[in-house]
């Protein structure tokens, strides 16, 4: 069978890396579920993606995960790749390889699960959806989880994106309209389904696939999703990527409470290191207002939406479960966030 495989990778743009992709026609034999090594390595021009100088520009795309392509349909694939140097070592922009290495150094045995709440803002041209060309919409209040054409903007695109994620087999957990008009959220990761593996690599991969689908479906609507953490200045909520995580010890009724205390202390001690890698322009969002804790402070608490680390109500009551890191910006790299959390809580 001849298939279209969309090879997707993350470029070297600074300070925020972006997605790239190109199509390879592949012959996969008589199977709907190929193994990842049936997709051959491929190359690209790294000098056009901020990943190489012009005189030695060839870099390697190594397929590491694939899903069914819900846009091109049956028999076609989205293939996520790591970027490698010609000698086979990971390219310096390859943040997934750094996460793999931290898992191998000891984090993997903690059996961590992740869930990312990816917020984003839909723009047509320079204006967020639902905003007048000049001036501002009504103040925030009715838009979060709203319904009705005066409160919710872009639902058709958002629904289509969710369906594409489901068809692709991504671990999408839910969606909701956000506090600022034109702003939305999807969640990717742990969702309590038995045969799924919500580990850091898989959930990170799934969020990058879901981002790619969001931009791609936006093309059909002439609408662009931005992950900027503060897309509109002033009294408007920013966009984050709350990162929920648990380990075997945190999920266990016997060890949960003690583990929670230990993790929070470690996270507090490393606050500055986390802030540094939680996305560009984070200070614009972490102001202490709009459901955030100020960037220079660390607070952890039950149900507290002004905390750095929120302990969900049920987790606080029962003494085990998961924690929510509310600091990462919408534009943060989920591999980098997960890697930093694992290194801190496992004390590696």
User: Which 235-254 residues touch ligand ADP, going by CB under 6 A?
Assistant: 242, 244-246
SS3 per residue for 298-335: CCEEECCCCCCEEECHHHHHHCCCCEEECCCECCCCHH
Q: Give the whole-angstrom CA distance, residue 135 versus residue 292.
A: 25
Position of minimal CB gap to Mn ion = 242
DSSP secondary structure code for residue 226 in this structure:
E
Say whether 22 sits in a helix, a strand or coil: strand
| Residue 322 interaction partner, one of Mn ion, ligand ADP, none, beta carbon < 5-8 Å per kind | ligand ADP
Residue 138 CB-density burial (10 A; 0-12 exposed, 13-18 middle, 19+ buried): exposed
Among 228, 242, 327, 343, binds Mn ion (CB under 5 A): 242
Determine if 173 is a binding residue for ligand ADP (CB under 6 A).
yes
Would you say 46 or 328 has its CB closer to Mn ion?
Answer: 328
Determine if 279 is a binding residue for ligand ADP (CB under 6 A).
no
Q: Give the whole-angstrom CA distance, residue 265 versus residue 273.
A: 14
Q: Is-contact 78 71, C-beta < 8 A?
A: no
Min dist. Cβ of residue 297 to ligand ADP (A): 20
Position of minimal CB gap to ligand ADP = 115
Determine if 128 is a binding residue for ligand ADP (CB under 6 A).
no
Say whether 118 sits in a helix, a strand or coil: strand
Stretch that binds ligand ADP, among 113-121, 142-150, 260-268, 271-279 (CB under 6 A): 113-121
* Beta-carbon count within 10 A of 348 CB: 12
Stretch that binds ligand ADP, among 51-59, 69-77, 186-194, 286-294 (CB under 6 A): 186-194
Using alpha carbons, list the distances in angstroms from residue 228 to 16, 23, 293.
10, 28, 18
Stretch that binds ligand ADP, among 7-15, 100-108, 288-296, 320-328 (CB under 6 A): 320-328
| Residue 189 interaction partner, one of ligand ADP, Mn ion, none, beta carbon < 5-8 Å per kind | ligand ADP
Q: Which residues pair with 74 in a beta bridge?
A: none
Min dist. Cβ of residue 192 to Mn ion (A): 16
Site mask for Mn ion (CB under 5 A), range 175-214, x = bound: ----------x-----------------------------
Q: Give the whole-angstrom CA distance, residue 88 versus residue 250.
A: 37
Determine if 325 is a binding residue for Mn ion (CB under 5 A).
no
DSSP assignment string, 209-245:
HHHHHHHHHHHHHT-EEE--SSSS-SSS---BEEEEE
| Closest among 160, 143, 141 to 152, alpha carbons compared | 143
Placement of tokens 């000049």 in the chain = 134
| Residue 63 interaction partner, one of ligand ADP, Mn ion, none, beta carbon < 5-8 Å per kind | none
Would you say 131 or 173 has its CB closer to ligand ADP?
Answer: 173
Say whether 175 sits in a helix, a strand or coil: strand
Determine if 259 is a binding residue for ligand ADP (CB under 6 A).
no
Among 190, 236, 263, 320, binds ligand ADP (CB under 6 A): 190
Determine if 120 is a binding residue for ligand ADP (CB under 6 A).
no
Stretch that binds ligand ADP, among 15-23, 184-192, 271-279, 283-291 (CB under 6 A): 184-192
Among 93, 102, 187, 207, binds ligand ADP (CB under 6 A): 187
Give Cα 37 distance to the centre of its chain: 25
Binding site for ligand ADP (CB under 6 A): 113-117, 173, 187, 189-191, 242, 244-246, 321-322, 324
């Amino acid at each position: 069978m001849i298939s279209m495989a969309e090879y997707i990778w993350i470029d070297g743009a600074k300070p925020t890396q972006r997605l790239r992709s190109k199509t390879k026609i592949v012959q996969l034999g008589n199977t709907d579920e190929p193994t990842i090594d049936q997709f051959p390595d491929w190359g690209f021009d790294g000098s056009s993606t901020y990943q190489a100088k012009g005189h030695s520009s060839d870099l390697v795309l190594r397929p590491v995960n694939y899903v069914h392509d819900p846009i091109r349909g049956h028999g076609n694939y989205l293939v996520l790749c790591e970027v490698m140097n010609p000698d086979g070592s990971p390219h310096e922009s390859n943040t997934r390889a750094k996460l793999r290495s931290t898992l191998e150094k000891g984090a993997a045995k903690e059996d961590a699960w992740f869930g990312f709440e990816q917020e984003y803002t839909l723009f047509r041209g320079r204006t967020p959806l639902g905003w007048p060309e000049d001036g501002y919409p009504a103040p925030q209040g009715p838009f979060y989880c709203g319904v009705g054409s005066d409160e919710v903007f872009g639902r058709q695109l958002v629904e289509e994106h969710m369906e594409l994620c489901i068809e692709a087999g991504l671990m999408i957990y839910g969606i909701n309209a956000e506090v600022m008009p034109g702003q939305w959220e999807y969640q990717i990761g742990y969702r309590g389904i038995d045969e799924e593996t919500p580990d850091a690599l898989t959930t990170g991969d799934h969020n990058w696939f879901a981002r790619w689908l969001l931009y791609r479906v936006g093309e059909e609507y002439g609408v662009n999703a931005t992950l900027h953490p503060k897309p509109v200045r002033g009294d408007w909520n920013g966009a984050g990527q709350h990162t929920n995580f648990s380990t075997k010890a945190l999920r266990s009724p016997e060890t949960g409470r003690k583990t929670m205390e230990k993790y929070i202390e470690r996270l507090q001690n490393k606050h500055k290191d986390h802030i540094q890698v939680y996305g560009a322009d984070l200070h614009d969002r972490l102001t202490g207002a709009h459901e955030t804790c100020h960037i220079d402070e660390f607070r952890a608490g039950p149900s507290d939406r002004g905390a750095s680390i929120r302990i969900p109500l049920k987790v606080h009551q029962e003494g085990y479960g998961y924690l929510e890191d509310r600091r990462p910006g919408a534009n943060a790299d989920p591999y980098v966030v997960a890697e930093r959390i694992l290194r801190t809580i496992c004390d590696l």
